[in-house]
Amino acid sequence: MNSESAVNSSEGKTVAVIGLGYVGLPLIVEFADKGFHGIGIDLDLNKVDSINRGVSYIPDVPTEDVERLVSAGRLCATTDFSRLAEADSIIICVPTPLRKTKEPDISHILASCEHIAKYLRKGMLIILESTTYPGTTDEVILPMFEAGGLKVGVDFFLAFSPERVDPGNSRFQTRNIPKIVGGVTPLCTAKAVELYSQAVENVHAASSARVAETAKLLENTYRSVNIALVNELAMMCRYLGIDVWEVIRAAATKPFGFQAFYPGPGIGGHCIPLDPYYLTWKARVSGYEAKFIGLAGEINSNMPDYVVTLVSDALNDEAKCVRGSRILVLGVAYKKNVSDVRESPALEIMSSLIAKGAQVRYSDPLVSCMKVNDESFKSVDLDVTELRAADCVLIVTNHDSFDYSLVGSESKLIVDTRNAMGNLSQCQAKLVRL
């Protein structure tokens, strides 16, 4: 579909997006930019007020884009779910966390669908983007909507299209990340494909919502098990006296049959630590135990403890114990160059070090403050004073903005979980790498 026909077909159409986080805000901005009237719905008043003032709180969404669309009357935000009645299409982008028992928590999806059911009318298209277990769209959402007497595929249309947002990725964003769409019926799929084709460059139609749901879980489970593999390799290579980073560089020279993954202090963000459990939970209740996926999750979950052991051993080699030592953590976001600390391994690492009696401080230019075990912490400047005062500098997140030459020249002891110091020709500190 060319851009001219996309704009024409969007005239007078309204898209409502429930949930205005890392997924929802970029999505609604993209639709509004293509000529749709976008209504964003979120319970967070700060987010709603920010959007209506034309200010973005998501780094990947420029404030000038939000300001332009709000000024043009094509984008607004509200906490009022009755505005759903104005929408031709509704897209659900709410969180799907895990309970402490590692079971799926789809309460946010259910709450959103309860609101939608009140305003559901003929011709409306509803799409779920929130990651969930296979069968959610067919088995849970559909009965809620058909309870009012309308028939799916005839009176209204329902589909699943998994989000694929990669925060901080300047190359791939909403418009050029291929979109998977799977409807409850073939016509539902066609309606959803038609909608997304007006805002996304490439749309792939799956045969069903279940296929689309499972494809999303496969993507992140694939990453989880491969990260677990190299994490185990890193631990094994330490016992064998082999540089795991050099091993990976060497293997990556193969132009086929190998994709490089890298070890780290643990996995974070809202996807990789959670999504495999959605898949294994569904398999378990269906009578199948996914042992391989479960083992990968166990290895990745244990990495923060392994990092704490590295720090303890490194301090011990310097005739120091963890208790009373001053430890400076570099980077607390779950990955480099983003400000998101959800499920970040830094939280567990800092919590364990504090429990062992360490004096923990952190420096992260993208995270000004945060809480660990209900204790508030503020980021400190990465300067000579901080580095010299630290008994150990622990690199957890390798932001590009860190001055690693300064870290190498002014620190006494460095535990590097990201190979951030690997490219430095000289490092005055004692260096311990994952």
Query: In the predicted model, is pLDDT for residue 4 greater than 60?
Result: no
Which tokens hold the place of 299? Answer: 């290895």
Active-site position among 271, 321, 392, 427: 271
Query: In the predicted model, is pLDDT for residue 256 greater than 80?
Result: yes
State residue 10's pLDDT score.
67
Query: In the predicted model, is pLDDT for residue 220 greater than 50?
Result: yes
CA dihedral of residues 60, 63, 69, 72 (deg, nearest 10): -170
State residue 254's pLDDT score.
97
* This prediction's pTM: 0.91
Instruction: Encode pLDDT of 7-25 as tens digits.
Output: 446 666 999 999 999 999 9
Instruction: Encode pLDDT of 41-50 as tens digits.
Output: 999 999 999 9
Query: In the predicted model, is pLDDT for residue 232 greater than 70?
Result: yes
State residue 5's pLDDT score.
41
Mean pLDDT computed over 108-118: 98
Query: Which has the minimum average pLDDT: 86-90, 98-102, 112-116, 351-355?
Result: 98-102
Q: Which domains does the chain have, with CATH numbers?
A: 3-207 (3.40.50.720), 217-300 (1.10.1040.10), 302-433 (3.40.50.720)
Average pLDDT, the chain: 94
- The span from the first CA to the last CA of the chain, in angstroms, equals 49
Instruction: Encode pLDDT of 149-183 as tens digits.
Output: 999 999 999 999 999 988 888 899 999 999 999 99
Question: 271 catalytic, yes or no?
Answer: yes
Confidence band (pLDDT; 50, 70, 90) for 78? very high
Instruction: Encode pLDDT of 267-326 as tens digits.
Output: 998 889 999 999 999 999 999 999 999 999 999 999 999 999 999 999 999 999 999 999
Q: How many CB atoms lie within 10 A of CB 229?
A: 14
Query: In the predicted model, is pLDDT for residue 345 greater than 90?
Result: yes
Query: Which H or E run contains 194?
Result: helix 186-196
The DSSP line for 225-286 is HHHHHHHHHHHHHHHHT--HHHHHHHHTT-SSS-------S---SSSTTTHHHHHHHHHHHT
Query: Which H or E run contains 370?
Result: strand 369-372
